[in-house]
Amino acid sequence: MKGGYQKIVAFHFFLCYNRRVYYQERGIEKMGHNDDIEKLIQSQDLTKQPPEQEPERQYYFIKKCREIVKKKSEELGRPLYACSVCMGCQMNARDSEKLLGILTQIGYVPTDREEEADFVLYNTCTVRDNANQRVYGRLGFLNGLKKKKPHLKVALCGCMMQEESVIEKIQKSYRFVDLVFGTHNIFKLAQLLVTVFESGGMVIDIWEETDQIVEDLPVKRKYAYKSGVNIMFGCNNFCSYCIVPYVRGRERSRDPEEIVQEVRKLVADGVVEIMLLGQNVNSYGRNLDTPVTFAQLLKKVEQIEGLRRIRFMTSHPKDLSDELIEVMAGSNKICRHLHLPVQAGSDRILQAMNRRYTKEQYLALVDRIKKAMPDISITTDLIVGFPGETSEDVDETIDVVRRVGYDNAFTFIYSKRTGTPAAAMENQVPEAVVKEGFDKLLKVVQDTARERALRLKGQVMEALIEEVNEQDASLMTGRLSNNMLVHFPADGRKIGQFVTVSLDACHGFYYTGHIVS
């Protein structure tokens, strides 16, 4: 990246020291709970220089930042409030839980209202251009808030911040922003905040890449009963339309034992369902010193007592192995839902997208999956309007939808992302032509999904109660193993519990019913 700030490129390696001994000396057998982290925060000596190793270095800055926030809170005569807004995918959502965990440990009180906040953090997405435009629109609103409340701090992080043009625009047009950082260094939030408070100017800290994974930091989970767990970061696929490898970096897998330990701690804290997260979970473990397959990791996680459900996303079709199909088919914990993005049905377009499979290879994979798991629910991602796409290409995608019989599909209009190979391709498709193809495909997707949902009407299935229904407070919303939602009368105290539900009526993309037991 270029610009008026110092380029920060991270090639950190884990320092060689015995972390287990370090923890045990402080009365901690195994890390995992926030109260364990609190012990390490309290053990930091602010009269000394901050530790070099991570995450201990961040514990030091959390304690230091806590003192700053406490002083400002005393000056205002009230607590300081922080609003953290997640704007992206499941990976983004998990990052936001970590960021909010750090802010909470620092001393901020979480709030959903930006108007109430003393610190606003946008964790951004950049998969489509409209995501960027949404951020710029909200920044205009925050500028007005900051004029009324000068002590308000505004921070931006996430995928959008990894784009050079974005940083240049923020520096030029949004000088009121206090802190900008990217995807590779979210663990540094406390350290960066100390710099913001001490410098009084805009702080920009963007890493172009990293091989570092820093865990064992505070987390503020959105749900008590379910949680995401990062198993890897980055992506090596470089699909020609996708900005993610450029903003998330190359693949980095976590150690399987660290993942298993984190899941055990979550289960001990009341979590019954976990989602294993990665840009392409099927390539997990390839870059480890001792390679481990994703299927092998699933076997380890499945053995954890008390864990009821396992989900994962996202799967790249080119890497989904027969070993994984076998493990899924033989499991009573892995949910009967697979998100398997196809993106297009035309071999010509798939090749231009650099997807590295053909239409028939994808369909053959689906056949193997359905043969092993006849009750599997398959969802997908579809793109309409990729450069050079014709109506015949759209028909090929429609053919895939009909032959697979997707339970649902996320259908997108192609978004030109500067910096990707597709953005420079000729034959960009006119908007009117794209809309025609999109509408045609969407109708088939919706009709197919309704037909798939109808097959379960009248059946009795297990649901995890997730929340009070948004439209009717007398109903609760539960999620089935196949990821479909069902609404039914229930006591709000049952949130996070499993119940057996009769699917009395199908409403296309959800069910209504009643509890059987």
| Same domain for 468 and 323 | no
Residues 418 and 465 in one domain: no
Whether residue 198 is found in the same domain as residue 302? no
How far apart are alpha carbons 455 and 374 in whole angstroms?
13
CATH number of residue 302's parent domain: 3.80.30.20
Q: Are residues 359 and 473 in the same domain?
A: no
User: Where does a domain end: 404, 433, 454?
Assistant: 454
| Structural domain includes residue 328 | yes
How far, in Å, CA of 51 to CA of 23, rounded? 14
User: Number of structural domains, the chain?
Assistant: 3
Q: Is residue 114 part of a domain?
A: yes
CATH classification at residue 55: 3.40.50.12160
Strand partners, 244: none
H-helix segments, 107-224: 129-148, 164-173, 189-199
Q: What's the CA gap between 503 and 482, in Å, rounded?
A: 13
Residues 6+ apart with CB under 8 A from 513: 486, 487, 488, 501, 502, 503, 504, 505
> Which CATH number is 504's domain given?
2.40.50.140
Of 413, 435, 454, the one marking the end of a domain is 454
Asked if residue 400 belongs to a domain, the reply is yes
Helices (H), 337-430: 347-352, 359-372, 391-404
DSSP 357-375: --HHHHHHHHHHHHHH-TT
Q: Which two tokens stand for residue 334?
A: 């892995």
Q: Are 497 and 350 found together in one domain?
A: no
What's the angle, vertex CA 371, arms to CA 408 and CA 406, rounded to 5? 10
Parallel, antiparallel, or unpaired for β 510-515 and 485-489? parallel
Decide if 219 is inside a domain: no
Which of 243, 84, 279, 85 has the alpha carbon at shortest distance from 164? Answer: 243
Structural domain for 172, as ranges:
19-205
CB 349 within 8 A of CB 386: yes
pLDDT in tens, the chain (517 residues): 333 333 322 323 333 334 444 444 545 444 446 678 999 999 999 999 999 999 999 999 999 999 999 999 999 999 999 999 999 888 889 999 999 999 999 999 999 999 999 999 999 998 887 888 999 999 999 999 999 999 999 999 999 999 999 999 999 999 999 999 999 999 999 999 999 999 989 999 999 888 888 888 899 999 999 999 999 999 999 999 999 899 889 999 999 999 999 999 999 999 999 999 999 999 999 999 999 999 999 999 999 999 999 999 999 999 999 999 999 999 999 999 999 999 999 999 999 999 999 999 999 999 999 999 999 999 999 999 999 999 999 999 999 999 999 999 999 999 998 889 999 999 999 999 999 999 999 999 999 999 999 999 999 999 999 999 989 999 999 999 999 999 999 988 899 999 999 999 999 889 999 999 8
Return the structure tokens found at 255. 């150690």
The reply to whether 478 and 377 lie within a common domain is no
- Closest C-alpha among 169, 191, 282, 197 to residue 231: 282
Q: Using an 8 Å Cβ cutoff, are 116 and 83 in contact? A: yes
- Asked whether residue 3 is assigned to any structural domain, the reply reads no
Q: Is residue 10 part of a domain?
A: no
* Residue 164, domain member (yes or no): yes
Say if residue 277 is in the same domain as residue 136.
Answer: no
Q: What distance in Å separates the CA atoms of residue 378 and residue 340, rounded to the nearest whole number?
A: 7
Q: Look at residue 214 and tell me if it is in a domain.
A: no
Residue that finishes a domain, picked among 454, 476, 495? 454
